Amino acid sequence: MAEAASVPIVCRVIARRRETRDTWTLSIDAGEFAFEPGQFNMLYAFGIGEIPVSLSGNPGAPGPLLHTVRAVGSASQAIAALKPGDPIGLRGPFGTAWPTSESAGSDVLVVAGGLGLAPLRPAIYRLFAKREQYGQIAVLYGTRHPADILFRREIQRWRRRLDATIEVTVDHADATWHGHVGVVTKLIERAAFDPGHTAAFVCGPEIMMRFAANALEAAGIAAERIHLSLERNMKCAIGQCGHCQFGPTLICRDGAVMAYDRVRPLLTVREL
Amino acid sequence: MEIHGLDRLICEHAFFAGMSQDYCELIGGCARNVRFDKGEYLFREGEQADEFFLIRHGRVALEIMAPGRGALRFLTLDPGDIAGVSWLVPPYRWLYDAQALELTRAVLIDGGCLRQKAEANHDFGYEMMKRFMTMLVQRLHAAQLQILDVYGTHG
Q: Are A255 and A229 in contact (CB under 8 A)?
A: yes
Please check whether residues A89 and A181 belong to one and the same domain: no
> Does some domain include residue A142?
yes
Distance of CA A194 to the CA centre of its chain: 24
Instruction: For residue B85, give the CATH number of its domain.
Output: 2.60.120.10
Cβ of B101 and A185 within 8 Å? no
Q: Which residues of A touch B83 (CB under 8 A)?
A: none
Cβ of A205 and B75 within 8 Å? no
B155 lies within 8 A of chain A by CB: yes
Q: Does the ipTM exceed 0.95?
A: no
> Does some domain include residue A257?
no
Pick A208's closest partner by Cβ from B75, B150, B153.
B150
pLDDT for res B68: 85
Coil, helix or strand at residue B3? coil
β-bridge mates for residue A165, sequence order: A138
Q: Which residues of B touch A173 (CB under 8 A)?
A: 72-73
Cβ of A211 and B145 within 8 Å? yes
Per-residue pLDDT of chain B (155 residues; tens, 9 = 90+): 444 578 889 999 999 999 999 999 999 999 999 999 999 999 999 999 999 999 999 999 999 998 888 899 999 999 999 999 999 999 999 999 999 999 999 999 999 999 999 999 999 999 999 999 999 999 999 999 999 888 877 54
A21 lies within 8 A of chain B by CB: no
Instruction: For residue A33, give the CATH number of its domain.
Output: 2.40.30.10
Q: In chain B, which among 56-115 make CB contacts under 8 A with chain A?
A: 59, 61-63, 69-76, 78, 80, 101-102
pLDDT for res A185: 93
pTM of structure: 0.91
Q: Which residues of A touch B80 (CB under 8 A)?
A: 190
> Does some domain include residue B81?
yes
Q: Within a 10 A sphere around the Cβ of B92, how many other Cβ atoms? A: 16
Strands A198-203 and A226-229: parallel
E strand or H helix at A15? strand A9-20
Please check whether residues A81 and A13 belong to one and the same domain: yes
List, for residues A37-73, the tens digit of each pLDDT value: 999 999 999 999 999 999 999 999 989 999 999 999 9
Domain of residue A160, residue span: 107-229
A144 lies within 8 A of chain B by CB: yes
Q: Are B120 and B126 in contact (CB under 8 A)?
A: no
Q: Within a 10 A sphere around the Cβ of B124, how many other Cβ atoms? A: 19
> Does some domain include residue A249?
no
